[in-house]
Structure 1
């Protein structure tokens, strides 16, 4: 879930530990998007050296590159969710790599110049404990960071805005591509919040994350471009949901927001403010209406 800062991406390496250089074909084609000195994880695996010679940067010292995590069925499902989210947000399939072994309870989205995502095996296993929808949610959240990296979002600066917008994009994705039944979404949120903890840290507080996810879900009824999704999200979230003030009837519609969307959001603003304030509990949140 943690987003890695752009500057850190310039230093992403894999530490090679007492490898025999003869084990890796020097003529292996290099991939400029690869997170480990140009060699694909599959090349290391084929050479039989992944576990002994490559530790995945930003993961534990016993991590190693793998083509499969948990099992092939769940790995393929994760790939499908990554590709589906990439397609929805207008990106070419975002390169996806896997870290197996211990110390892999994380999923990281890396920015320029490579722009790729790494999922840890322990993260995938943990998400599956809450159901496959949790995998879809985290996959969309990480792809949302790729949208931010590549297209210059979020448009509004703030301590938690990057992560909260990714939650909103993930909610939008779940509505568009995964389910139209809101009660199925709650396990995904509960897994995400179990990672961030009660305080939420840079990801925002628990009520903030719930309201961001719900706002993205509600906007998922409409077909929005990435720029409109970013703009609509922050117009309603930062202007009305977070402050918790202002009557819905007094909300002025900006000229560049669709009239139907604005009318609908007026009808949901009190609900969103009650989610953010904690007036709507986690249990009540799980049983909100689909629309």
Structure 2
């Protein structure tokens, strides 16, 4: 009777594992060092702040030109500044301030108490802002997170309505992967939820070029939401559609004491009027 000799056993799992490793190695070789360098230069989640993309898109220098309307100096701060010297800022003429409270639904500013309460303590009119990440969660979800973590409003005469910071995505594509109509819907969800939670219309911080690219220059928020325009130049330039004037203007990221300085388009009594609603 013939003896049956089995053929060689193929270690299929080992073969697949080796093949997977080879494919991974090949993809890394083809990708090259440029992709690794690009990933290394992107900021860490949570580090975004007002105006991160403005230098590259909306002007770089120039002191504000004189205007016929009185302007009131302000600042905006985030965890990037750490503890802030509020007494020094007050002495320099700064009378209002915004502090970053939140980003997405994954970050709260660890310096928020010192910054938000510190500005109030020296006599400033203060407010909080939220850095939007429309690619991570919905607008309503982020508005609730903002209100729940410092972004609310109180009728004390010295608290400004919260600000939605909507600008270039520092972590990826300019418009967070959204179409213009989807972006408008996201913003509307945030604003509507904020109003339902606080009774106030949130301020919108943005830059004209970003607004045009990512919302199609949508004009529907100008009648209800104050505009905080970002442009580092001698004037705020052309405003987004729907706003005949700006309420606030971030004009530099290289001011004294803290970098980001702003002008309120009116005298101090107009800042107080916005705080009072």
Instruction: Indicate whether the TM-score tops 0.5.
Output: no
Which one has more relative contact order, counting CA pairs under 8 Å at least 6 apart?
2
Higher-Rg member (1/2): 2
State the TM-score, normalizing by the size of structure 1.
Answer: 0.26
The structure with more strand, counted as a fraction of residues? 2
The structure with more helix, counted as a fraction of residues? 1
